[in-house]
Amino acid sequence: MNLLYKSYFFASYQCDHSRSFYIDFGHKQIKLSFCQLLAIRQKLQAIDISSHFDMDLNSGGIEILSLCNREHLFVFDTLQVIDLKQLIKATFGILELNSLVAH
């Protein structure tokens, strides 16, 4: 397994053998197809982090995220969401870089 990126709370990996990806959430590691990785990316992009600093919009400062067709359910606080956004962004950056050097 190749480490793609390690953020403060999380880490992402690529597994060449199974042609899939892994995200280590600390307490559990989940395996993702590329499609599922795209879905996570979409969900995180859709989260407006500024709402976490608005008492009316998101008073709890919490995001509930279901992943892989509701197979996994996560509850993240503000810091974790920021960290996860960073992880996914950087992961796709590394993947793009890898595309460039691979060809």
Partner 1 sequence: MKDIVRQKIGINVDVMDLLNEQIAKEAHSSSVYLAMASWCDHNGFSYSAEFFYKQSAEEREHMLKIFKFINENGGTAYSPQVSNISHEYNSLQDIFETALDQEIQISKSINNIVTKCRKVQDYGSESFLQWFIQEQMEEENQFRRILEMFDLMGTDGLALKFIDERIKHD
Residues in contact with partner 1 by the rule CB under 8 A: 2, 14, 16, 19-21, 34-35, 38-39, 41-42, 45, 92, 95-96, 98-99, 102-103
Instruction: Give me the sign of the Cα torsion angle 2, 17, 44, 10.
Output: negative
Cβ-based nearer residue to partner 1, 10 or 21: 21
d(CA 76, CA 99): 31
Cβ-based nearer residue to partner 1, 3 or 75: 3
Name residues whose C-beta falls within 8 Å of residue 75's C-beta, 6 or more positions apart in sequence: 62, 63, 64, 65
Cβ-based nearer residue to partner 1, 41 or 85: 41
